[in-house]
Amino acid sequence: GSLRSSTVVPFVDGGTEGFQGNARVVIPGMTACVECSIYLYPPQTTYPLCTIAHQPRLPEHCVEYAKVLLWPQRKPFGDGVPVDGDSPEHVAWLCEQAQQRAAEFGITGVTYRLAQGVVKHIVPAVASTNAAIAAACAAEALKLAANLDLMSNYMQFNDGYGVYCATVELMKDEECPCCSNRPRMMHFRRSDTLRAVVDYICRLAS
């Protein structure tokens, strides 16, 4: 059926990573949703296991070595206990092991804070970037409340080298599994489980 604009609840989204940030306005069913532009987001940082195990070059490699290889082998807090990035004891143990590993290869810079950041995948935050993106989101929310023209519809911001800001219009993906109104036929056997349906939708989205 057709979308009733009176029932649509728009939302404003923003995020930062270091000196980079973005803000966007999503009007469900009318503009591109997050899934439509998921290709814009970089994959999570990972380190090759061969580098971690044999030739570490960065302090992060040493922390990953302690987490991925030493933790399962030595079981410092008991069998089957996973790494908890919010546990000071866990992070301290990983930091100590990583420092020993770093000393073997002449690597400096392994600290408790770094170890916690690697374990919890903490993204560095810069106050000026956060402030700029928060201001952009607040401005768009105010425009929505006052029924003013919105930005179209994705803003990129970078203040690492000077200040760069650009607004582009992300196009709605008509094949998007999340926001497309286009019907899609899916065929399953009577014996298929809910897991088969979920797996099929995940493959479709990827």
Residue positions annotated with a catalytic role? 50
The amino acid occupying position 135 is A
The amino acid occupying position 172 is K
Query: Pseudo-torsion of CA 192, 198, 203, 206, nearest 10°?
Result: 170
